[in-house]
Amino acid sequence: MAVELDLERALVIGVASSALFDLRESDAVFREQGEERYREYQREHLDDVLEPGVAFPFIRRLLDLNDLSDRERLVEVVILSRNDPETGMRVMRSVAHHGLDITRAIFMQGRAPYRFMKPLRMSLFLSANEDDVREAIDMGFAAGHVVGRAQPDDGDTDLRIAFDFDGVLADDSAERVFQSEGLDGYQESESALAEVPLSRGPMADFLEKINRIQGIEESKSLDDPSGYRRRVHVAVVTARSAPAHERAINSIGQWGLRVNDAFFLGGIDKGPILEVLRPHIFFDDQRRHVEGAALSTPSVHIPFGAINRE
């Protein structure tokens, strides 16, 4: 029986080759010697396999979740590339070499491909090109700038995802209160609005699609309570602390979403916590948190909200 791809139901992600693979060497050729030499270089190295990049373990595990259904494709990943089709061949050959189940790609020579997120119903675009990510965010798409270097992939099947809350799962309205009124004003406001949900932020749709996959896992666990081990785990790691934690928990619930774990750290450095949690990807809207986390954790900066327009 053919496996159906329904773009409305599936979790669809666009990933630039710069997020999926380590392109430092070829990027250096482009910067130092120009586009023509870069194209020659890619042709010369067509059969040289690209090494995994920051987002590789995350993408591999996402694609592996397709084995949870034999009727529909739960996850679809599309390469979105600034390469032309000819130089993009090296990327696709590397995809095949690494056994990634990616068959769809858009190659646009020197132009940003994120504009095709809407017709493809993408919940996220990942790239190492910060300008592309910011432009996508400004157009209302969920996009993230991968930061740091690839971490070793232990090869297991678990998928651990960690999100900051404000400016990532939620909008940045509470963060704006914090910036304008300070900690005391922020805590007072969040306590008064504890039962009022914040508006959904750029990554909420992505979490909704992840929750759908977790629902399938829940059904399998109920059918086989002693034998099925759940693979997808979601955590919120936020600088919020009591009493502001209540509005975060209530907002997630009132959106109809859920997370497995929550860490309300009250401004404590997130890096050491993430080292223990070991997510395969961490999303945060504040660059300083991302840069600290990226020392040990594959991290993504979501340049959303007022704090990223300063």
Q: Which residues are catalytic?
A: 164
**What is the token pair recorded at 183?**
């900690």
Angstrom CA distances, 3 to 6, 11, 16, 121, 234, stand at: 10, 15, 25, 18, 27
Could you identify the residue written with the tokens 């805590």?
A: 187
How much of the chain is in helix, strand and coil states, percent to nearest 5?
40, 20, 40
Report the alpha-carbon distance of residue 31 to residue 258 in Å, rounded.
44
185-221: buried (b, 16+ CB within 10 Å) or exposed (e) per residue? ebbebbeebbeeebebbbbbbbbbbbbebbeebeeee
Q: Are 206 and 11 within 8 A, CB to CB?
A: yes
Residue 184 buriedness (CB in 10 A; 0-12 / 13-18 / 19+): exposed
Compute the distance between CA of residue 74 and CA of residue 251 in angstroms, rounded to an integer: 26
Tokens 């949900």 — which residue? 197
In sequence order, the 6+-apart residues with CB closer than 8 A to the CB of 205 are 123, 142
Distance CA 274, CA 295 (A): 10
Q: How many Å separate Cα 49 from the centre of its chain?
A: 24
Overall residue count recorded for the chain in this entry: 310
In angstroms, rounded to a whole number, what is the distance separating the alpha carbons of residues 125 and 252?
A: 22
